[in-house]
Amino acid sequence: MSYQETIDYLFGLQKHGIKFGLSNSIQLMGLMGDPQRRFPSVHIAGTNGKGSTAAFLACMLRAAGYRVGLYTSPHLVSFTERIRINGVPVTEERVVGLAERVRARYENVRSAEGGPLTPTFFEVTTAMAFTCFAEERVDIAVVEAGMGGRLDSTNVIAPLVSVITNIDLEHTEYLGTTVGLIASEKAGIIKPGVPVVTGAVQPEVLAVIEQQARLAGSPVFRMPQDFGAEQVATDREQEFDYRGIFARLPRLRIVMLGRHQVGNACMALAAAECIGKAGMKIPETALRAGLADAVWEGRLERVAQRPDIYLDGAHNPASAQVLADALRDLKRSYRRMVLVVGILKDKDYRGILDRLVPLADRVVVTRPHYSRALDTASLAAEISTLHGDVASTECVAEAIDLARRETARDDLIIITGSLYTVGDARAAFRPGEDPGMLRGLKG
């Protein structure tokens, strides 16, 4: 298969939908020789902040000299972004090879239920990632859960530490309609005797996490009670003192913007402390260097200047609120702010808009190249109830062009609403890449 044929095959597996249960994943891993048993790992679940926390931790581990695998989802532009070795995405040729081998192993195999084994997109991509990490002989893999945790395809690993960043309402049709029910799914990554690090704060959520941890005999470290940041100084470069589980580290620096990233950095630091207690030492110099070097695409990422253009993948009300809080600080340095927004129709777009639209001086509506995108007419009509200056475009590249034409050098452009919108924007700054094709979409 060519790379594009491989992408078409992988996204074609979405016809099998989303399956909650580990039987397919366990069987698929067995067919691949159980690669997940051949490397230590960290498991990260939660509603928001998983990718940034994973990026901070992976950078600190790399700075300590370890060979690090990183598995995250979704990708922004290229599928290769999902599987990284020491920060570098795997090659397209490697994706083709991994996909062909996984497909060859499961085709014509019967499932545990007796019918044909029909793994989903995420089950196959997880098998590809873990096979790659085993073959690359990584010293440790940082693994981001997909949806949920308990029955997520990634939940076949035995991690050194489990991280639950936070809990909010998401994917309620699958995970439950309350934060307590969703917490039960996320807490399913907790393993016997394995320490748990969490940034969740709601009492009902903490009760669920702590009960699951007690049943597993696992210690729980909570932010801000057991670790956290002190003396935070926020600017374009953020500095804070870390009050850790076992140690204190003054004057740490990160370049990722927003106070929420300080919290994500603290969760990564707490996880690193647990990894150290498990025997993988991470010197203070590596902690400092890794934090300072860490970046995560599509999270208040600046992609252009004069006017400054930032991308942020806020795609639910909780992440939109986090972005809104960051923008209140950021926009003080600019004359005016233009919001470019495209949202998926199955998201709580009203909750997202309520938090972001009032901050903007002008709003440009767009639509990412994805089948689940909300049409621009409906989105513009919704925004018009909140704002009097709204324009519409039919694609993200057009929205960027319009925003640039209408802004001065000292204005701010924010592109947000969906990781797919952000992906289209990143592709617009990288000519020659078609995000639609790379998502298995044609035309």
Please report the DSSP string for 273-329 in residue order. HHHHHTT----HHHHHHHHHH---TTSSEEEETTTEEEE----SHHHHHHHHHHHHH
Q: Which of 293, 328, 359 is the last residue of a domain?
A: 293
DSSP 8-state assignment for residue 51: H
Q: Which of 293, 312, 330 is the last residue of a domain?
A: 293
Checking if the pLDDT of 259 tops 90, the result is no
Domain co-membership, 149 together with 241: yes
List for the chain the helix, strand, coil content (%; round to 5).
45, 15, 40
- Which pLDDT band holds residue 231 (cuts at 50, 70, 90)? confident
Domain co-membership, 11 together with 147: yes
Residue 54 lies in a domain: yes
- Per-residue pLDDT averaged across 59-67, rounded? 98
Q: The domain containing residue 64 runs over which residues?
A: 3-293
pLDDT in tens, 344-358: 998 999 999 999 999
Domain co-membership, 288 together with 143: yes
Residue 153 lies in a domain: yes
pLDDT of residue 198: 98
Q: How far apart, in whole angstroms, are the C-alpha atoms of residue 144 and residue 225?
A: 24
Domain co-membership, 125 together with 244: yes
Domain co-membership, 283 together with 314: no
Domain co-membership, 312 together with 378: yes
Domain co-membership, 101 together with 185: yes
- Which pLDDT band holds residue 438 (cuts at 50, 70, 90)? very low
Domain co-membership, 305 together with 289: no
Domain co-membership, 134 together with 189: yes
- Our CA dihedral for 415, 418, 420, 425, rounded to 10 degrees, sits at 0
Bridging pattern class, strands 68-71 and 83-85: antiparallel
Residue 401 lies in a domain: yes
Of 372 and 393, which is predicted with more confidence? Answer: 393
Domain co-membership, 130 together with 206: yes
Count of domains for the chain: 2
- Judge whether 259 and 232 are in contact, CB under 8 Å: yes
Q: Which residue has the tokens 């693994």?
A: 143
Each as own residue / partner, the long-range contacts of residues 299-306 (CB below 8 Å, 24 or more positions apart, any chain) are 299/51, 299/52, 299/256, 299/258, 299/261, 300/256, 300/257, 300/258, 300/261, 300/326, 300/330, 303/425, 303/426, 303/429, 304/413, 304/429, 306/409, 306/410
Tokens, residue 13: 């597996």
Domain co-membership, 236 together with 253: yes
Q: Which of 293, 312, 335 is the last residue of a domain?
A: 293
Of 268, 275, 310, 263, residue with least CA distance to 291? 268
Domain co-membership, 374 together with 422: yes
Residue 443 lies in a domain: no
Checking if the pLDDT of 68 tops 60, the result is yes
pLDDT of residue 432: 55
